[in-house]
Chains A and B, each alone.
Chain A
Amino acid sequence: MAPHDQPQVAVVAFGQSDHLRTTDELSEVEMLMPVLHEVLAATGLKTSDIGFTCSGSSDYLAGRAFSFTMALDGVGAWPPISESHVETDGAWALYEAWVKLRTGEADTALVYSYGKSSPGSVRDVLTRQLDPYYVAPLWPDSVALAALQAQALIDAGETDEPALAAVASRSRTAAATNPHAQLRGAVEQGEYAVRPLRTGDCPPVGDGAAAVVLATGNRARELCERPAWIRGIDHRIEAHGLGVRDLTDSPSTRLAAERAGLFERPVDTAELHAPFTSQEVVLRRALRLADDVTVNPSGGALAANPMMAAGLIRIGEAAARIHRGASDRAVAHATSGPCLQQNLVAVLEGEARA
């Protein structure tokens, strides 16, 4: 199929759980199921109507092998469905579903992701994604690695501690109107976690889930009053050696954005997956965001950072703004790995309103 014959794909529904520090009383599937029901109800679709299902999660958060298979119970996987899973953020599951829909093999897809950080220590758990030969044996935790990047930015004159505090404050103030967020309103910048990052520069650790429904062409128009069309989506990766990279820049984000068509026309909204305040500084530059772009009106990952779902939530939040007419053209970004190692960029648009 030539690219111009490939069906256009839109986000037609988005749902997320309340993001909480702990959800001991709920298993993963119990946490996820209400979110799945929310997006199915919003579209009127039943499980059996969905052409393709794709999920994102990580066994390392749960401490159990094949933990995602239990969550499948919440989907209604019997009789067998067409299903796939990525062991990373659900934004990449959405990418896989987008490819599936572009090939014409399905016209609807359910994408979901979830993560419970509460059972373990996520700072330590995330060390297991690092280079096992040279880096992981030193157990540098996720906050420490982000702090190295923050210091590099400060040294380069790209930011300073008050500017980082302003990012934290703006994000959590924006989250005051987000009922799902974990940290809302004024939050103390606090003590240093790993200097130069203070606790206020770091995301909350919590549990949560998200889901979206994708649909193609006229199917999308039937299911949603104003579909959020995915005009472009791409993901790129940096060299894995931290000392090989210029930590003040994110060329992979810029390349993904270029391939997704971001630079063709301005956007009005950006949902950036920047778990640390300093990472927003890097992303704003890489995406060349103008000052009048509304950045993270949801509060972003500084207000709620459920591992494996926070990236998918950025796409969902951007789409939801298009659904309700608050945005016409938005960029959503998701990241994974230390210091913005892997980056996904999606450009979403609503059709012109009468």
Chain B
Amino acid sequence: MTSVPSPEVLRAPLVVEFPFTRSLGPVQSAFLTGLRERTVLGVRTGDGRTLVPPVEYDPVTAEEIRDLVEVATTGTVTTWAWNHAPRRGQPLDTPFAWVLVRLDGADTALLHALDVPGPDAVRTGMRVRVRWAAERVGAITDIACFEAYDGEAAEPGSAPHTGVFDDPVTGIVAAARLDYTYSPGRAQSAYINALSERRTVGERCPSCRKVYVPPRGACPTCGVATAERVEVGPRGTVTTYCIVNIKAKNLDIEVPYVYAHIALDGADLALHARIAGIPYDEVRMGLRVEPVWTEGGRYPDHYRPTGEPDADYDTYKELV
């Protein structure tokens, strides 16, 4: 055991990005295609209300609804909030009001942005109209925003519509990006810091005495904190493995290669790593291996055979 002071807490940027690709049902398809054509559609419920934006099921009765109507591109603000500091992805990059707008002919309100010079220029009940985006693709952002409008309802008020357009939009790609600063916590920070010094440390459970590597700060069997740091390895034994035949995107390793579970000497949990320095079809359970660091690497690039005789099955069978 080594007594180590609290490690420097590690931090790294973590970006999660996903272009969610979603298909549209008939009602959503008609609505979003309509926006592309500067037409706003709603849907009529069984009790005669017009929902804008439209949904496929009545929110009260859950009845399927399909009767589309065209509503006006003018409407009334039902509530608002002044956003003096727009955030990434929001409709306008200058200060604006969030508004719920009930379009003329609709019974429900649509959320969007209102472009006005300041909070004194907004009030509940004010008249607004759609400002269309210059380029429209069939998305809610085809409405660039709303703008003040001093006038009567723009036609039509609530006219039946087939929902049929040429070249209907049948799906959307909803791009999303979230930025994080990831911090792995005390136990894993210590593990990563030690790796950069070409050492592998685990933590021993005070109750069952098992050594976990990589350590996660807790013993999953006993449910207690692990704190006693233990240096393990550097050598270990292949407990099981697989042969990878499909090249991963952006991975600069020739296939086939071997990915293995390796029980480092002194550890009670196998970690996983790539095996190299031996033909892929000669890797076997019990093979003795050691880590290989590349120049400046903060973690082992792979493990290679040590040349020792294979470990006896009984010495690692609990770790398979």
Contacts and interface: CB of A to CB of B under 8 A. Distances in A.
Interface of A: 24-30, 33, 36-37, 47, 60, 63, 70, 72-79, 119-121, 123-125, 127-128, 132-141, 144-145, 147-152, 155, 192, 194-197, 239-244, 247
A70 B218 CA distance: 9
What are the 6 tightest A-B residue pairs by CB atom distance, in nearest-first order? A76-B223, A27-B185, A243-B109, A147-B81, A139-B89, A239-B59
A119 B79 contact: no
B229 interface: no
B127 interface: no
Contact of B90 (A133, A140, A147): A140
B187 interface: yes
Contact of A243 (B108, B139, B140, B220): B108
A152 B131 CA distance: 24
* Majority secondary structure of chain B interface residues (helix, strand, loop or mixed): mixed
Nearest to B185: A27
Contacts of A135: 111, 140
B98 A132 contact: no
Given A73-B219, A196-B82, 12 more contacts: A24-B9, A27-B188, A30-B218, A60-B178, A76-B219, A137-B89, A138-B141, A141-B87, A151-B79, A195-B82, A243-B100, A243-B109
Contact of A29 (B24, B109, B217): B217
Nearest to B225: A33
A320 B51 CA distance: 45
A123 B140 CA distance: 21
B184 A119 contact: no
A147 B183 CA distance: 32
Contact of A150 (B59, B81, B88, B140): B81
12 contacts: A26-B186, A30-B217, A73-B216, A73-B219, A124-B89, A132-B20, A135-B111, A138-B141, A139-B87, A141-B87, A241-B55, A243-B52
Contacts of B83: 144, 194
B218 A137 contact: no
Contact of A148 (B55, B98, B219): B98
A243 B87 contact: no
A151 B109 CA distance: 15
Interface residues of B, number: 66
Contacts of B80: 148, 151
Given A25-B186, A76-B221, A133 B88 contact: no
A243 B90 contact: no
B182 A119 contact: yes
Contact of A47 (B174, B183, B223): B223
B53 interface: yes
B9 A148 contact: no
Contacts of A155: 79, 124
B182 to A, nearest CB: 6
B223 A25 contact: no
B206 to A, nearest CB: 13
B91 interface: yes
Given A133-B24, A140-B98, A27 B220 contact: no
B14 A63 contact: yes
B111 A138 contact: yes
B71 interface: no
Interface string B56-97: 000110000000000000000011111110011111000000
B16 interface: yes
Contacts of A137: 89, 139-141, 172, 174
Interface in B232-258: none
Nearest to B22: A132
A73 B52 CA distance: 47
A118 to B, nearest CB: 8
B140 A148 contact: no
A160 to B, nearest CB: 14
B102 A243 contact: yes
A120 B98 contact: no
A250 to B, nearest CB: 15
B124 A72 contact: no
B110 interface: yes
A354 to B, nearest CB: 37
A84 to B, nearest CB: 17
A128 B219 contact: no
Contacts of B308: none
B11 interface: yes
> Residue among B111, B112, B220 with the most chain A CB within 10 A?
B111
A25 B91 contact: no
B33 interface: no
A199 to B, nearest CB: 12
A33 B178 contact: no
A79 B78 CA distance: 56
B98 A25 contact: no
Contacts of B260: none
